[in-house]
Amino acid sequence: MAYSYVPGGEAGVKLRMRVTGGAEIQRKLELMPKEINASIMQDVVLIGGEIIKEEAKRNANRRKRTGNLADSINVKLGKEKVGTKVVAVISAGGKGWYGKLLEIGHKVVVKGVVVGQVPPYPWLRPAFDAKQKEAREVMNKELERRLAEIWQR
């Protein structure tokens, strides 16, 4: 399986899971009804996304003022769900809309004039870096477990 960190559009990252190699696994996946295959892949990538989300929440809480950022971090399926490729998007929204501003830093502009600069406070990328290996391992085990259940029927 291949996994990658892809900076997301808003304040997020995408965790991609794609089944590669292992001709027997790919052949068996192709033989499964598409809805079962997609459901398993979606569940598994969301499980991996939750691991990264929890670390992102811990990171956000280290600089907690209101708790809005940590409370607004979520994991959802991306629109890229085709065949053996599924994407989970980990991002902040709602009251944590400012998450991207913290992640990359920003200028403070008043009436068109830059009056200051806020340095970056990365909370999401470090979460991905710290937890991607654990997420990958958990996702691999869960995918193997679910496929074994189906293939034993």
22's tokens: 């292992």
121's tokens: 């406070």
Residue 82 identity = V
Express each pLDDT in 109-126 by its tens digit.
Answer: 999 999 999 999 999 999
What's the pLDDT score for residue 53?
95
Express each pLDDT in 38-90 by its tens digit.
Answer: 788 889 999 999 999 999 999 999 988 888 999 999 999 887 655 567 888 89
- Rounded to two decimals, what is the model's pTM? 0.78
61's tokens: 């809480």
Q: How confident is the model at residue 3 (pLDDT cuts 50, 70, 90)?
A: very low
Closest Cα to residue 102, out of 6, 10, 4? 10
Cα atoms in the Cβ-side hemisphere of radius 13 Å centred on 127: 29
